[in-house]
């Protein structure tokens, strides 16, 4: 049985997000987002993906930055997941390398999703922007 976006639970939507992200399927990834999103990644000014976004075009640009700037993940693990109603928080730990500097960084982050009618309406990422800043600094 196929589940429509409106009928999907928060957990199903978050699972679909990570499946699309892991597969590098940008079309499916963008399909997880509402038309307008409260999208924010706080961070140091030299971290290219830090900042606020709201449209699918801006979100596509965000996810398009990673393969341009980073090697594939050396490691990636979801270490915790908490859900309540429309909200889910995922805690993850990963290691990437900045291709321009060849410096690696370990990023332990929390990602807060809010899902409305089967689509991600809020995406707030809290990451170690100092470690990322250092990796982007030559």
* The model's pTM: 0.89
Reduced to 3 states, what is the DSSP secondary structure of residue 133?
A: helix
What is the layout of strands, in order, in the sheet containing 103-116? 51-55, 33-41, 119-126, 103-116, 87-98, 75-84
Q: What is the pLDDT of residues 40-53, one digit of tens each?
A: 999 888 899 999 99
Residue 3 pLDDT > 80: no
Phi, psi of 17, rounded to the nearest 5 degrees = -60, -55
Q: Are 46 and 135 in contact (CB under 8 A)?
A: no
Residue 2 pLDDT > 60: no
Phi, psi of 24, rounded to the nearest 5 degrees = 70, 25
- For 60-118, give the DSSP string: HHHHHHHHHHBPSPSEEEEEEEEEETTEEEEEEEEEEEETTTTEEEEEEEEEEEEEETT
Q: What is the pLDDT of residues 52-86, one digit of tens each?
A: 999 999 999 999 999 999 998 899 999 999 999 99
Specify the pLDDT at position 4. 55
């Amino acid at each position: 049985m196929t589940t429509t976006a409106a009928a999907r639970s928060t957990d199903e939507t978050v699972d679909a997000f990570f499946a699309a992200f892991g597969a590098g399927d940008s079309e499916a990834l963008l399909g997880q987002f509402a038309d307008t999103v409260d999208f924010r990644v706080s961070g140091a000014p030299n971290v290219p993906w830090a900042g606020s976004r709201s449209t699918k075009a801006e979100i596509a640009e965000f996810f398009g930055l990673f393969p341009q700037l980073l090697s594939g993940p050396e490691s990636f693990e979801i270490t915790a997941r908490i859900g309540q109603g429309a909200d889910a928080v995922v805690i993850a730990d990963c290691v990437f390398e900045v291709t321009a500097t060849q410096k690696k960084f370990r990023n332990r982050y929390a990602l807060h999703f809010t899902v409305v009618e089967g689509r991600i309406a809020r995406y707030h990422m809290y990451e170690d922007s100092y470690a990322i800043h250092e990796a982007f600094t030559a």
